[in-house]
Amino acid sequence: MIATRMRPTAFKDSLRSLPIGAAVRVAGPNGNMVLHEDAARPAVLLAGGIGITPFRAMLEWATEEKLPHKITLFYSNRTRSATAFLGDLEAWSSANANLQIVPTITESQDAGWHGEKGRIDEAMLRRHVADLAQPIYYLAGPPSAVMGLRKLLLDKGVRRDAIRLESFIGY
């Protein structure tokens, strides 16, 4: 599966013009978004927008394999309708007692929204993570969000080697 935000770019326009079922050639995956082996350390995943894609695969696998890792996913989007894969994430959270999903929206006034509101920040993290220094953190999304969250974590004493990141440039 591939996932992308359909923005007005030449590349995305060419994708949009493909007929359903067209064959495409892709490379990868290329990155370091692999769940750590030490299940004693919780994982905290911080996703912005389409940055959810490496985490979707990770969470599906952790749920199917019944991994013992405690995992908390913070997933930020502008609106509920922009929150890709929310149904899958909620289903896996229901099936996996070790998985907590913390969705947040930044722009919607959706009266039916029951998740967090606003950007992922220190206060939001502290509401859901008992000890900020303990987890391994995984960050993926727009470069400005990823770098801002990385700085926040470092400023709060999280060790550099406990932060893994992937910036989604061009989305």
Q: Give percent of the chain above pLDDT 90.
A: 62
Give the distance, in angstroms, between the CA of residue 171 and the centroid of all CA atoms in the same chain: 14
Give mean pLDDT, residues 121-132. 97
DSSP 160: G
Which range of 4-13, 46-55, 100-109, 121-130 scores highest in mean pLDDT? It is: 121-130
Say what the pTM is. Answer: 0.85
**2 pLDDT above the threshold of 70:** no
E strand or H helix that includes residue 63? helix 52-64
Q: Are 49 and 141 in contact (CB under 8 A)?
A: yes
pLDDT digits (tens, 9 = 90+) for 58-95: 999 999 999 999 999 999 999 888 899 999 999 999 99
Residue 44: band (very low, low, confident or very high) from pLDDT cuts 50, 70, 90: very high
**171 pLDDT above the threshold of 80:** no
Residue 159: band (very low, low, confident or very high) from pLDDT cuts 50, 70, 90: very high
**147 pLDDT above the threshold of 80:** yes
DSSP tally for the chain: helices H, then strands E: 5, 6
CB atoms within 10 A of CB 30: 6
DSSP E strands, the chain: 43-48, 71-77, 99-105, 116-117, 136-141, 163-167
- State the Cα–Cα distance between residues 46 and 149, nearest whole angstrom: 8
- State the Cα–Cα distance between residues 106 and 102, nearest whole angstrom: 13
Residue of higher predicted confidence among 49 and 95? 95
pLDDT at residue 74 in the model:
98
